[in-house]
Amino acid sequence: MKRLEGKVAVVTGTSPNIGAGIAGGLADEGATVACVDVVPENAHQCADWIKGRGGVALGIACDVTDEAQVEAMVARTRATYGGVDILVNNAGILGGLSVMEMPLERWNRQIAVNLTGNFLCTKHVARSMVDQGRRGSIVVIVSTAGHQGQAGNIGYCTSKSGLLNFTRAAAMDLAKHHIRVNSLTPTATDAEEGLERGVAWGRQRPERRGGGMLDFRKMVPLGQLPSPRHYARAAVFLASDEAEMITGFDLRVDAGAIAKYWPWVPHP
């Protein structure tokens, strides 16, 4: 018996990187998956990829900042598969600028996608779950940048730290309905798996860029950066009945990054 057999999941932000890794991981455990993205190819190619692996999936183009589109996305998933049991709020805009450089328009868009998009998807999926009496699980994708101050990334750090307490507050609101809300914290992610998936989807492999100033692998205690499949395993656990007594919790899949004493370089 697969761990998510019979469950219907909505995963937002299904680029070949983390969103598809999580969507594929849920599907491998038996979940039916609605792959949701503002970029239609990301939604449809992810769904086709899951179907090609023997799963059941549907691609839906949707901007998570637009409430009417979010309502329509939830309604379509429900009409197609009968309801929603799992939501993974993964859509996000990465990167940014410092507090003095960040243009208001860019700040507003990043906050809208990273925070308001989570709110709207959670709101309408939770309403659907309550309406149908489904005991669901909602997973919010954060980042180690939500736990620490990173220079040159003001909108991202602010929005991701907001999601940590959004998760706790939503968990309290939804506890009486037996809907669990937890967050999952990824960190700097090994790019290889996402790039290979992009190639499998018929995309061109981007040229290798020169590394940044920091060698992240030397900084994490486990000496290896996580890949999307590692996040997928944690998302499957949080979504499954094995986590039935866990809500309002942040599960870090960060190779030990946040637990580390800050000046220690484990692999110099």
Contacts with ligand NAD by CB under 6 A lie at 12-13, 15, 17-19, 37-39, 42, 63-65, 90-94, 113, 117, 141, 143, 186-189
Please calculate the CA angle 197-61-173 and round it to the nearest 5 degrees.
100
- Residue closer to ligand NAD (CB basis): 128 or 189: 189
Q: How far is the CB of 177 from ligand NAD (least distance, A)?
A: 25
Q: How far is the CB of 128 from ligand NAD (least distance, A)?
A: 18
Q: How far is the CB of 190 from ligand NAD (least distance, A)?
A: 9
How far from 244 is each of 116, 133, 170, 173, CA to CA, in Å? 27, 16, 16, 17
- Residue closer to ligand NAD (CB basis): 17 or 240: 17
Class of residue 105 by CB neighbours under 10 A (exposed 0-12, middle 13-18, buried 19+): exposed
- Residue closer to ligand NAD (CB basis): 94 or 200: 94
- Residue closer to ligand NAD (CB basis): 10 or 134: 10
Overall residue count recorded for the chain in this entry: 268
Kindly report the number of other CB atoms within 10 A of residue 72's CB atom.
14
DSSP 165-186: HHHHHHHHHHHTTT-EEEEEE-
Element spanning 33, H or E: strand 32-37
Q: How far is the CB of 113 from ligand NAD (least distance, A)?
A: 4
Among residues 81, 156, 231, 261, which one is catalytic?
156
- Residue closer to ligand NAD (CB basis): 29 or 37: 37
Residue, CB closest to ligand NAD: 92
Record the tokens describing residue 38, joined without a space: 């503002």
Query: Number of helices (H) and strands (E), helices first, in the chain?
Result: 9, 7
Cα distance between residue 31 and residue 4, in whole Å: 5
Element spanning 61, H or E: strand 57-61
- Residue closer to ligand NAD (CB basis): 45 or 134: 45
Q: How far is the CB of 143 from ligand NAD (least distance, A)?
A: 3
Q: How far is the CB of 157 from ligand NAD (least distance, A)?
A: 11
Is 156 an active-site residue? yes
Kindly report the number of other CB atoms within 10 A of residue 64's CB atom.
26
DSSP 191: S
- Give me the active site residues, please: 156
